[in-house]
A and B are shown apart, each in its own frame.
Chain A
Amino acid sequence: MSITWNDNAPIYRQLRDRVVAMILDGVLKQGDALPSVRQVAADFQLNPITVSKAYQELVDEQLVEKRRGLGMYVTEGARDALMRSERERFLREEWPQLYARLKRMNLDLQTLLDSAEKPQGAQP
């Protein structure tokens, strides 16, 4: 597997975001084990410190817990917590700009909903 990292953010952050995306998408479910630091380091050709740092971030956010001698596991309620914080973040950071833009363009809710429910590629 070949992974390209972008150079705008530290790799441990990007790795953390990858795990978060996997939890949100349900690929990693609560109670699932994360692959070992060693495994991830070898698979992605990263130094183990980078991987540990990404995992530590997830532990700090209580999305993942360390079980002694066993490894890292997705915590109960991780997905719900993530959903909540992602929704809050959207409403706080993305929505105000988007809302302003929709107002400028005079797009009303019905038009937006109609457009979203149309089959892909259909012309309005």
Chain B
Amino acid sequence: MSAIVQARGLSKRYGNTVALDNVNLSIEPGRIVGLVGPNGAGKTTALKAILGLAEFQGELSVLGMDPRTHRDELMQQVCFIADVAVLPRWIRVADVVDFVGGIHPRFNRAKCQAFLARTKIAPTQRVRELSKGMIVQLHLAIVMAIDARLLVLDEPTLGLDILYRKEFYNSLLSDYFDEEKTIIVTTHQIEEVENILTDLLFIREGRIVLDATMEQISERFAEVMVNPDKADAARALKPLHERQIFGKSIFLFDGVDHGTLATLGELHKPSVADLFVATMKGTYA
């Protein structure tokens, strides 16, 4: 078992709604994987299954364990930051630290306190007195002090200003991540994380529609800016997406030889946001 997460035929329904439809995926250690999809595509459901928080059909192994039957063991090795506040509003910061210290065998209290000391959070403050950004800092301080192998982040920076967002990823990269750890992150702010990611998963209507390393993505996809006289030639190569800008057409191609494309116009690496728009078009229609 080398994969951190391995899913085969993972499915989940809520009544008549299919949230996950036969998902196959494999996540290796030392990766930072972005799970990206429109609202309601199944991201949170997939994460919940991985964390053992939801029932599902199919096969799923996380750190070699089945999250349905080995949730307690799993939770010693897996950390999670949810997009919804889970800390009770009345609790004091020092009590949160005490509580986690009391229940988590892999929690390093000194490390947590050192992280907190770099913020404006005071141990005597109650959660309800903290701003949204400070609550995320508190979560992060706890999580970074836990020596876990898998960290799951569900919209961790939702509603935070850009300073807090940058600081969040900065801390993760400088004080937490190493080649033995694995991070799965969902976010709508793709442009802010795209250079951090090593792998990208696109999910749409419960299905994985793209599963590639960032390296494969730059080899597979290319954007070409084409003058009107060559637009038909470009269309003949079956672009994934076409948009107009300043009288030129920008085509997005998947798997077409970059040499061929270079004869049509200027070649660019598409951003993850461009890929997302092209892959998800028609989702809400």
Chain B interface residue number, banded: 20 to 34
Cβ-defined contact, A7 with B268, below 8 A: yes
**1/0 per position for A1-45, CB-CB distance to B under 8 A?**
000010110110000000000000000000000000011011111
| Contacting residues, chain B, for A38 (C-beta < 8 A) | 173-174
CA gap between A43 and B173 in the complex, in Å: 9
| Contacting residues, chain A, for B193 (C-beta < 8 A) | 45
Chain A interface residue number, banded: 10 to 19
* Chain B nearest CB, measured from A45 CB (Å): 6
A50 located at the interface, meaning its Cβ lies under 8 Å from any Cβ of chain B in the complex: yes
B276 located at the interface, meaning its Cβ lies under 8 Å from any Cβ of chain A in the complex: no
CA gap between A50 and B195 in the complex, in Å: 8
Nearest-CB residue, chain B, relative to A3: B195
Interface residues of B (CB under 8 A from A): 32, 166, 169-171, 173-174, 177-179, 192-193, 195-198, 214, 218, 223, 267-271
A91 located at the interface, meaning its Cβ lies under 8 Å from any Cβ of chain B in the complex: no
* Chain A nearest CB, measured from B94 CB (Å): 28
* 29 examples of A-B residue contacts, CB within 8 angstroms: A5-B195, A7-B269, A7-B270, A7-B271, A8-B268, A11-B195, A38-B174, A39-B174, A41-B173, A41-B174, A41-B177, A41-B196, A42-B170, A42-B171, A43-B170, A45-B166, A45-B169, A45-B173, A45-B193, A46-B195, A46-B196, A47-B32, A47-B195, A47-B196, A47-B198, A47-B214, A48-B177, A48-B178, A48-B179
| Contacting residues, chain A, for B195 (C-beta < 8 A) | 5, 11, 44-47, 50
Cβ-defined contact, A10 with B196, below 8 A: no
* Chain B nearest CB, measured from A66 CB (Å): 16
CA gap between A11 and B196 in the complex, in Å: 11
| Contacting residues, chain A, for B268 (C-beta < 8 A) | 7-8
A49 located at the interface, meaning its Cβ lies under 8 Å from any Cβ of chain B in the complex: yes
Cβ-defined contact, A10 with B218, below 8 A: yes
Cβ-defined contact, B269 with A42, below 8 A: no
Nearest-CB residue, chain A, relative to B197: A47
**Known contacts A38-B174, A39-B174, then 18 further A-B pairs from the complex at CB < 8 Å, ordered by chain A residue:** A5-B195, A7-B268, A7-B269, A7-B270, A8-B268, A10-B218, A11-B195, A41-B173, A41-B174, A41-B196, A42-B171, A43-B170, A45-B166, A45-B173, A45-B192, A47-B196, A48-B178, A49-B198
